[in-house]
A and B are shown apart, each in its own frame.
Chain A
Amino acid sequence: MIELFNVSVKIDNRPVLNDISLQITKGEFVYLIGKTGAGKTTLMRLIYMDLFPAKGNVIVDRYSSSTIRRKEIPFLRRRVGVVFQDFKLLPDRTVFDNVAFALQVIGAPKRTIRARALSALSRVGLNHKRYQMPHHLSGGEQQRAAIARALVNEPFILLADEPTGNLDPQVSTEILALLESINRSGTAVLMATHNYGLIRQFPHRTLLVENGKITAGEAP
């Protein structure tokens, strides 16, 4: 369901990924490791088509990077959830509104929005804080809210770009346990991380991004 064929990417004329091929199957959990700037984020941007390869092809669900039209990209993104290290929550809205926002902006009916936002918040264990503003939450809770927002559209894959980068070890473990539970319910997870301890604690297929190539890796 996600396939990369001989993909090369240049950013500002600098080669970042060079002739890589990769497959992530339905419901898989995959770690991406590698130094900062190695191309982990680039790989994720290719998947939600925020970036297009200079060469090769990226297939995500039924969309192909070589044929997708600009106006189809939003529909692809509704099938892909993304969370970041810095959460990217809207500071002037409550947790509930942040999650509901992802449904409002795709024009979902009001009743659906409420039901699905509450369900997503329950999944991440944040229902009781739904009317709080993001700055009243801890880092771990903010990341949970971001995960709820990413899940609310029921994506087939969740891309997590260093989701524990700003969190302490205990909270990081909780977030990973949450991602695992999401994965067990059928959503694939691709997670970029530097936290090798977590990989050892929750082992899954691990890919190393290095020198523009992707190889099977393992936590050092």
Chain B
Amino acid sequence: MKLLFLLKEGFAGFRRARLAVTITLATITLALALLGLFGLVAQNLSDSFQRVFYQIRLEVFVDPSLGESDFQTLKSEIEGIEAVQSAEYISPRAALQEFEKDFGKDLVAVLESNPLPPSFRVMLKTGRSRPEAIQAVVRRIEALKAVDEVVYPENLIRLLDKYFLLGIVIAAGLGAAIFIISTLLIFNTIRLAIHSRQRVIEIMRLVGATDAFIKAPFIFEGVLQGMIGGLLAAGLLWLAGDLVRYLFLPGLAVPWLYLAGLVITGILLGFIGSYLSVGKYLNT
């Protein structure tokens, strides 16, 4: 009976204060959508950066006089380095084919011999490593016998790393600001909605309702609003993501985890906001 009454009161709150509830829901939805939008943009930018890093290959040129078995040993040695994902042997012939494919020129016809040395194309394990870490790997490979030279886009890595770090700092600051603003906005809206019903709280106190009994319907309502706001925000983002994917960015990712996170954030903010707001009226 008690639970039924509390649930009924919670739902009835929606019906009784339609305007306040609509404003609260709209605020929660927009605040969470803003938060989610920021998260998605940050996530997709970060993914793009990581993809660039992931595509970075070290070209390891080796002594052309080595025999087949030496290449196998060297491959094992390179792959034995902790940060290395794989090392692919590129024979001079394969290198020539790639060159011709990329540049369309018959190199042998011009130079009368294949000038390209045998090499290994080394892929690193982590999607993104600091330039120092990549440099350390390069040094270890260079130290191997029979390795002539390691070529890799060092400047590009440094540039990307610098902007990636800057991006993280800006995103963290912006994310924190958006989160704080969203939270305050949601709290304040819930507080106003509860304020508009302080007579109910006053009467409940007057006729001897316990604090828990007074709080429960408001908290239930807050959680419900947070959940609905979170679902609406998740729906909006999902639709917006679909639209952007269709129109501009086919690779755009809208992970389900984000959408679920928005709903959970909504529920938590609804709970905390209503708990604090109704508590304020009980302590006066």
Contacts and interface: CB of A to CB of B under 8 A. Distances in A.
A106 interface: yes
A106 B199 contact: no
Interface residues of B, number: 18
B208 interface: yes
Interface stretch (B136-144, B209-217, B235-243): B209-217
Nearest to B9: A104
Nearest to A77: B208
Q: Is the interface of B mostly helix, strand, loop or mixed?
A: helix
Contacts, number: 52
A110 interface: yes
Contact of A88 (B2, B16, B202, B214): B202
B94 interface: no
A96 interface: no
Contacts of A110: 1
Interface in A41-93: 48, 70-71, 74-78, 82, 88, 90, 92
A40 interface: no
A153 interface: yes
Given A88-B203, A106-B213, 14 more contacts: A71-B211, A74-B205, A74-B208, A76-B208, A77-B205, A90-B199, A90-B200, A90-B203, A105-B204, A105-B209, A106-B207, A106-B209, A107-B5, A153-B208
B110 to A, nearest CB: 90
Counting chain A CB atoms within 10 Å of each CB, the highest count among B199, B200, B204, B206 belongs to: B206
Contacts of B214: 105
A88 B202 CA distance: 9
Contacts of A71: 210-211
Contacts of B210: 71, 74, 106
14 contacts: A48-B206, A74-B205, A75-B208, A77-B207, A78-B207, A78-B208, A90-B203, A92-B16, A102-B207, A104-B5, A105-B207, A105-B209, A149-B207, A153-B207
